[in-house]
Chains A and B, each alone.
Chain A
Amino acid sequence: MTADATPYVTEDGRQIGGVMMDLRDITLRFGGVEAIKSISFDIREGEIRAIIGPNGAGKSSMLNVISGFYKPQEGEVHFRGKKRPPMRPYQVARQGVARTFQNIALFEGMSVLDNIMTGRMGHIKSNMLAQAIWAGKAQREENENREAVERIIDFLEIQAIRKTPVGRLPYGLKKRVELARALAAEPDLLLLDEPMAGMNVEEKEDMSRFILDVNDEFGTTIALIEHDMGVVMDLSDRVVVMDYGRKIGDGTPDEVRNNQEVIDAYLGVAHD
């Protein structure tokens, strides 16, 4: 099914392009434990791709492979048609891959504004000397970045907490700030690791709206892990299902919903 990668337009008018990221036969081991067993799937430009599966299925590990934090023992990652050489995570990030984390990984000692500004690390050109003097180019650049960040702050409706230290924020807002930080990078591919975990229904609705808006307005490709099936089915264009490190399903929400293996995994049929 990955072979067919012709661009098309969805019902709601979004543009889905060709394959942006292609993961081929990824295998990841920790010591003797195989966390991911020879998994292949692709992510297409402009789509919302969901990865689902029970706890311990290897979903977060998969995101970590995509963002370059884990190095798979086998398999290849192709990004924009080219095989990705071994890279440090920050280099991956600078190629236009941004993400959020399952257990919020904000910089607790910094203000909301500074956290989001950190997301723009890849957009800074001025060198250290210029920054030390704080005039001319460095300051201009700082202001441009600040304007970009302010747009995101407006977009996510967190103007009031700009200067607040992140440590003092409630959980839901932290999740939103983390999204803002990822967006600040203006990524092509946005990875969201359980963006709605621990949220109430209203917060989930807000977050879903933000995700759709991001995809819609900026044309950002999104890959997300989520447990709430309703959300996943509503949001995503295609879904990958993982269980015990294997891929057990891949397709549109409807296809996945009717996949027997997926049903077994979720109903807890015993493994042999």
Chain B
Amino acid sequence: MLYREAGDFKTTYVADSQTFPLKLDRIGFWVTMAVAWLVIPFVINDYWASSLLVPFLIYAIAAIGLNILTGYCGQVSLGTGGFMAVGAYACYKLMTSFPDINIMIHIVLAGGITAIVGAAFGLPSLRIKGFYLAVATLAAQFFLVWLFNKVAWFYNYSASGQINAPERLVAGVAVTGPSTPAWAQYLICLFFVTLCALIARNLTRGTIGRSWMAIRDMDIAAEIIGVNPLKAKLTAFAVSSFFVGIAGALFFSVYLGAVEVGEVFGIQKSFLVLFMIIIGGLGSIFGSFAGAAFLVLLPVALKWIGVDVMGWPTDLVAHFQLVIVGALIMFFLIKEPHGLAQLWRLAKEKLRLWPFPY
């Protein structure tokens, strides 16, 4: 009985509403944080940063954002790619227009701009529901991508139509541009992930989170008992877009450094982030991480096994990768329809009983 809750009593409401009510979970959380903040930065190299950890962290932010909208508030969105593009282009314009201001502020502001755009595109959600809304958010997706591609002001009239992140420093260390050390890239993303996860956690366990969930579970009843649907939906769109915008800004400035809107923030990105939260678990912060990990790390792992270990032709491995990822998604669903987060919860419940199952 390594993992247990017996004897773990709460004597205050504060203690009762904390993020990890169980002591063991708390210890696990702090160990993870310690490793993430104090160990990984010292051992990370370029490959681990650019291929695995940085994209994983950024997708986790985007997934948290979309999970707030879809998982907590029940509004299915396929505009994530477009909103990420807003974050990226806002960040680019801010970076190049006000080069003396700290990039961290630019990234947060980019999130804020995205929040405004997101709330504006959230307006139809007051009339349109369910899958119809999902398809309506595609209008945002296609329009935004077209706009950033078409209006040269957004890419500072560069001949190529690409946007390039110039070098910016935080505390004397480059965090964007080619000479960014891997650990700095990683740490800035980790900082924003931690921040976003914290904010998301606080919002979802409080009043506003309950109003989102109420709208998700039964919107009419929610309104009748006093939830303002306009406010709940628009705040969900705004908060969600804020995170997605930060993810887009980081994706452009820290991770890729150069971006073309149609290719990087196309419809595929919207679907990918949606897949992450569904696979990870709707309405779960942990699920956002799990889903991002599943779809970022699994393909790389499969490729490594197929190409480097088994020595198979790369194209066969790529095809098998699709087959395996697809089959795994279906398999997990049949075993546990509520995503990896639920699977994890069930595993923990089993652990609580282990080794005495009754």
Chain A positions within 8 Å of B, measured between CB atoms, are 67-69, 88-90, 93-94, 98-99, 101, 105-110, 114, 117-122, 124, 126, 128, 131-134, 138-139, 142-143, 146-147, 181-182, 185
Residues A90 and B13 in contact, CB atoms below 8 Å apart: no
Closest A residue by C-beta to B195: A132
Most-contacted residue by chain A among B14, B221, B226 (CB, 10 A): B226
Residues A138 and B206 in contact, CB atoms below 8 Å apart: yes
Chain B positions within 8 Å of A, measured between CB atoms, are 13-14, 17, 199, 202-203, 206-208, 210-211, 213-214, 216-218, 220-229, 235, 239, 283
Partner of A114, one of B14, B210, B221, B227: B210
12 A-B pairs, CB-CB below 8 angstroms?
A101-B221, A106-B218, A107-B216, A110-B213, A118-B225, A121-B207, A121-B210, A131-B208, A132-B199, A132-B202, A134-B202, A134-B206
A131 to B210, CA, bound (A): 12
Partner of A99, one of B13, B206, B210, B224: B224
A81 to B332, CA, bound (A): 59
Q: Which residues of A contact B228 (CB under 8 A)?
A: 88, 90
Question: Shortest distance in angstroms between B224's beta carbon and chain A's nearest beta carbon?
Answer: 5
Residues B226 and A107 in contact, CB atoms below 8 Å apart: no
Residues B223 and A118 in contact, CB atoms below 8 Å apart: no
19 new A-B contacts at CB < 8 Å, known A98-B225, A107-B222, A110-B214:
A90-B224, A90-B229, A101-B221, A105-B220, A106-B217, A118-B211, A118-B213, A118-B227, A121-B226, A122-B226, A131-B203, A132-B199, A133-B202, A142-B13, A142-B206, A143-B14, A146-B17, A182-B225, A185-B226
Question: Shortest distance in angstroms between B10's beta carbon and chain A's nearest beta carbon?
Answer: 11
The answer to whether residues A142 and B17 also contact, given A99-B225, A119-B226 and a CB cut-off of 8 A, is yes
Closest B residue by C-beta to A140: B14
Partner of B217, one of A93, A109, A131, A181: A109
Q: Which residues of B contact A124 (CB under 8 A)?
A: 207
A125 to B235, CA, bound (A): 16
Partner of A142, one of B199, B207, B217, B227: B207
Residues A107 and B235 in contact, CB atoms below 8 Å apart: no
A132 to B208, CA, bound (A): 9
Residues A121 and B203 in contact, CB atoms below 8 Å apart: no
Closest B residue by C-beta to A147: B13
Q: Which residues of A contact B202 (CB under 8 A)?
A: 131-134
Q: Which residues of A contact B225 (CB under 8 A)?
A: 90, 93, 98-99, 118-119, 121, 181-182, 185
A94 to B213, CA, bound (A): 19
Partner of A131, one of B14, B206, B226: B206
A106 to B216, CA, bound (A): 11
For the residues of B in contact with A, the DSSP-based class is helix
Residues A108 and B217 in contact, CB atoms below 8 Å apart: yes
Question: Shortest distance in angstroms between A64's beta carbon and chain B's nearest beta carbon?
Answer: 8
Residues A128 and B226 in contact, CB atoms below 8 Å apart: no
Most-contacted residue by chain A among B13, B220, B239 (CB, 10 A): B13
Chain A-chain B contacts (Cβ-Cβ < 8 Å), number: 103
A205 to B140, CA, bound (A): 55
Q: Which residues of A contact B224 (CB under 8 A)?
A: 67-69, 89-90, 93, 99, 101, 105
A155 to B205, CA, bound (A): 24
A181 to B224, CA, bound (A): 12
Q: Which residues of A contact B210 (CB under 8 A)?
A: 110, 114, 117-118, 121
Among all A-B residue pairs, the 8 with the closest Cβ atoms: A105-B221, A93-B226, A107-B217, A134-B202, A121-B226, A124-B207, A131-B206, A89-B224
A146 to B220, CA, bound (A): 24
A68 to B224, CA, bound (A): 8
Most-contacted residue by chain B among A99, A121, A122 (CB, 10 A): A121
Q: Which residues of A contact B207 (CB under 8 A)?
A: 117, 120-121, 124, 126, 131, 142
A74 to B202, CA, bound (A): 45
Q: Which residues of B contact A88 (CB under 8 A)?
A: 223, 228
Closest A residue by C-beta to B216: A109
Q: Which residues of A contact B227 (CB under 8 A)?
A: 90, 118, 121
Partner of A89, one of B13, B14, B223: B223
A143 to B228, CA, bound (A): 22
Closest A residue by C-beta to B217: A107
A152 to B22, CA, bound (A): 26
A47 to B112, CA, bound (A): 50
Residues B217 and A110 in contact, CB atoms below 8 Å apart: yes
Q: Which residues of A contact B214 (CB under 8 A)?
A: 107, 110, 118
A121 to B210, CA, bound (A): 9
A138 to B206, CA, bound (A): 9
A134 to B206, CA, bound (A): 8
A94 to B224, CA, bound (A): 10
A133 to B227, CA, bound (A): 22
Question: Shortest distance in angstroms between A137's beta carbon and chain B's nearest beta carbon?
Answer: 12
Residues A90 and B208 in contact, CB atoms below 8 Å apart: no
Residues A109 and B226 in contact, CB atoms below 8 Å apart: no
Most-contacted residue by chain A among B207, B225, B226, B229 (CB, 10 A): B225
Closest A residue by C-beta to B238: A128
Q: Which residues of A contact B218 (CB under 8 A)?
A: 105-108
A109 to B199, CA, bound (A): 21
Residues B221 and A128 in contact, CB atoms below 8 Å apart: no
Q: Which residues of B contact A119 (CB under 8 A)?
A: 225-226
A143 to B15, CA, bound (A): 11
A123 to B335, CA, bound (A): 42
Closest A residue by C-beta to B205: A134
A119 to B229, CA, bound (A): 14
Question: Shortest distance in angstroms between A111's beta carbon and chain B's nearest beta carbon?
Answer: 10
Residues B283 and A109 in contact, CB atoms below 8 Å apart: yes
Question: Shortest distance in angstroms between A89's beta carbon and chain B's nearest beta carbon?
Answer: 5
The answer to whether residues A90 and B226 also contact, given A121-B211, A128-B208 and a CB cut-off of 8 A, is yes
Question: Shortest distance in angstroms between A95's beta carbon and chain B's nearest beta carbon?
Answer: 10
